[in-house]
A and B are shown apart, each in its own frame.
Chain A
Amino acid sequence: EVQLVQSGPEVKKPGESLRISCKGRGYNFLDSWVNWVRQLPGRGPEFMGSIDPFDSNTDYSPSFQGRVTISVDAAITTAYLHWGSLEASDTAIYYCARRNDTKWYAMDVWGQGTAVTVSS
């Protein structure tokens, strides 16, 4: 079964750093870009950026460029989303999703989501 399995919920304080993960299973991880998507409470999804596991090439939304870092460890089929200094406004659910280039770049497989809470 094709899956993306994300790390568990996080509770952090403003100013702290955080890295969450997304592990691909059941498909050739190198063949598909991995997207990261933010969903604020009660709001729609927002594309943050994506990474090509083959060469670590990244594509960030201007809204998130410089605020987060997307990386990958292809050897363990895992993508990461990293914050250097969290803010309360980063409280959200974060999803990873596989980009399927044979389906017009649609996100065809999603992780279960990682809830991040930032509060003092």
Chain B
Amino acid sequence: DIQMTQSPSSLSASVGDRVAIVCRASQTIYNYLNWYQQKPGGAPRLLVYAASNLQGGVASRFDGSGSGTDFTLIISGLQPEDFGTYYCQQTYKTPRTFGQGTKVEI
């Protein structure tokens, strides 16, 4: 299986901050990398697909980048509604594994 490792595992930031979450794959996944946001009690929500493509309806302050094995999700101008846990997922090979998550606290 392809292992996905996220860092940090948690972070605390203030409204308006720029936040970066890193995801590293154990082998190349080209750009088959997606980012999800999950709030307590809710299902995950797709934010970014194919490493850098914003899902429809997602705020433009979310920005994904990277290719190969190293990827980054940046939130520019953190908003109160951005609290939650963020997961990366590779869809290059099955099983389509997720990272362990990054909890963002405001």
A residues sitting closer than 8 Å to B (CB atoms) are 35, 37, 44-47, 59, 61-63, 95, 97, 100, 103-108, 110-113
Chain A residues, Cβ within 8 Å of B34? 103-104, 106-107
Given known pairs A104-B49, A112-B43, the reply for A44 and B99 (CB within 8 Å) is: yes
Task: Give the segment of B17-25, B68-76, B88-96 that binds chain A.
Answer: B88-96
Distance (whole angstroms) from the CB of B33 to the closest CB of chain A: 8
Other CB < 8 Å A-B pairs besides A37-B44, A97-B44, 15 of them? A35-B96, A44-B99, A44-B101, A45-B36, A45-B38, A45-B89, A45-B98, A61-B94, A104-B31, A104-B49, A104-B91, A106-B46, A106-B89, A107-B36, A112-B43
CA distance A35 to B95 in the complex (A): 11
B residues sitting closer than 8 Å to A (CB atoms) are 1, 31-32, 34, 36, 38, 43-46, 49-50, 53, 55, 85, 87, 89, 91, 94-101
